[in-house]
Structure 1
Amino acid sequence: MQDVELYIEIGKNVRRRRKEQILTQEALAESVESSSQYISRIERGQVGPSLEFLYKLATALDCPVYSLIPASYPAKTQYFPAEVTYRISSCSEWKKQFLTDYISWFLQQPDPSEK
């Protein structure tokens, strides 16, 4: 799973706390010795701050670090129905590799609807 969902949730929490403290991104960036561009990227979920940086943010925002981190990991979006996932999970490694290769090949084929 990609961490994008987690980064987005952290960013929302940072933005919420910053606004509660009536701070601009520039003021927050200055207090944590960073740039406003980096704060903006965090708030938009484009980057995940390090644990050390989260502690700096928490100190600057006068809040516990755990208030910046979601209580649970964001739910993973499931791309395949449960039945397909179940069937693949019981396959041998050879079959899983075959399916992966086939899907890669299939996705390279021209789409008949695009002709």
Structure 2
Amino acid sequence: MLTTAEIEQCSLDTALIGKRIKKARKEKRQTQEYLAGLCDCTPTHICNIENGKIGISLELLFKISVILEKSIDYFVMDNPNANPEVKINTEIAPKLTQCDPQMLDMVVSFLDRLISYRDNLSRKLTETNNI
């Protein structure tokens, strides 16, 4: 059974989703009015979503993702249960291509240490909980 804290982690960051919708819409040079017309809702509704004042239905998020040619993961990728590959491909990989071989070695070493630290911490927490 899930704890309350685990359930709370499953919530979506509506402000972040709204910011990403706004960014994607502007990249496509679309107005709120135009997007609203395609989505069969009002410009005010789109404005409220973009400003994080209200949440968004799955159906509307799907429509917007198709219209703006983005995956749904793009809009929710910083949420705990989102696909990490999206963040890797859209934010991390482009930065790695700018690194020279020495910098890449440093990144690999850092990631190895970070993963080891996380694993050790997780192991210690498990041992503490089992006592």
Shorter-normalised TM-score: what interval?
0.5 to 0.7
* Normalised TM-score (structure 2): 0.51
Alpha-carbon displacement from aligned partner over 1:34-83 (angstroms, at most 9, x marks no partner): 1100000000001110111110110111111111113224xxxxxxxxxx
Aligned-CA RMSD value: 2.2
SS where residue 41 of structure 1 aligns? Answer: helix
Q: 1:22 aligns with which of 26, 29, 41?
A: 29
In 2: Cα distance, 1:5 partner to 1:69 partner: 7
Match of 1:46 in 2: 53
| Alpha-carbon spacing, 1:12–1:33, altered in 2? closer, same or farther (3 Å) | same
Task: Give the gaps of 5 or more residues in structure 1.
Answer: 74-115
If asked which structure has higher relative contact order (CA below 8 Å, sep 6+), I would say 1
Number of equivalences: 73
Share of identical aligned residues, percent? 31
Q: Which has the larger radius of gyration?
A: 1
How far residue 16 of structure 1 moved from its aligned partner, in angstroms, is: 0.5
Structure 2 residue 39 is matched with structure 1 residue 12: no
**One-letter amino acid matched to 2:38:** S
Q: Could you list the runs of 4 or more consecutive aligned residues of structure 1 that deviate by over 4 angstroms after TM superposition?
A: none
In 1: Cα distance, 2:70 partner to 2:79 partner: 18
Match of 1:57 in 2: 64
Task: Give the gaps of 5 or more residues in structure 2.
Answer: 1-7, 81-131
| Alpha-carbon spacing, 1:51–1:59, altered in 2? closer, same or farther (3 Å) | same
* Normalised TM-score (structure 1): 0.57
Match of 1:68 in 2: 75
Conserved 8 A contact 1:10-1:70: no
